[in-house]
Amino acid sequence: MGAINYGSNNIIGSFGYSWINYFPSEEDIKQYREDYDLSEEDYSDEDIENRILDDSHDMMEEDMEEVRRHLCGYKYYDVKVEYGYYEGFYIDIDDKFLYLDSYEQKKEMQKELTTLKKELTYVIKNFGIRVCYPGWCTGWEEEIKDSLKVLNEGVREERKRINSMRTEKQFWKLTKEERNKIYGLCF
């Protein structure tokens, strides 16, 4: 498959959409020929296959825009839908805060996580989004139930992380070395 370069997330999990794994079958080509009344003399099977792949790429673009619409407008999470390096697209999820100002914000962040989970569940079920394992050869969960399982596990871990997040006052009480060790940042 080659180097795909989907983004990976430390928050919730890595989710992507791969359109290039679709290869039209003989039945797909035959059906396309019938649907568009394309003769074998004028259009080879390869011509039809290329048209089907072009159409599927256009559908991927439409799916990408629809997924963007579902995953926008979060206060605590920065959610982007980005193109994969060679193919498809992936969902980039990051949190926007190193600390929260109050315990009320933790409740708000938990509610927003619930909304994000609902939207991710929807796009997994309706747009072919799957958990992916980026690397030299990207691995994929094939079944919807497997992607939902990974999503649920990721949300459970994120809930624990939110509950353990420090307030601003607690964050700045940490030494510079502690902040660097915990957050991997240089302050």
pLDDT digits (tens, 9 = 90+) for 111-160: 999 999 999 999 999 998 998 887 666 777 888 999 999 999 999 999 99
* Distance in angstroms (rounded) separating the CA atoms of residues 67 and 65: 5
Q: Is residue 182 scored above 80 in pLDDT?
A: no
* Distance in angstroms (rounded) separating the CA atoms of residues 60 and 19: 7
Tell me if 133 sits within 8 A of 140, measured CB to CB: yes
Query: What is the pLDDT confidence band of residue 20, given thresholds at 50, 70 and 90?
Result: low
Strand-pair category, 89-95 with 15-17: antiparallel
**Can you give the residue ranges of every domain in the chain?**
15-183
* Distance in angstroms (rounded) separating the CA atoms of residues 11 and 155: 8
CA angle 56, 61, 65 (to 5 degrees): 145
Largest CA distance in the chain: 77
pTM for the full predicted model: 0.78
* Distance in angstroms (rounded) separating the CA atoms of residues 90 and 79: 10
Query: Tell me: the pLDDT tens digits for 26-41?
Result: 888 888 888 888 888 8
* Distance in angstroms (rounded) separating the CA atoms of residues 158 and 163: 9
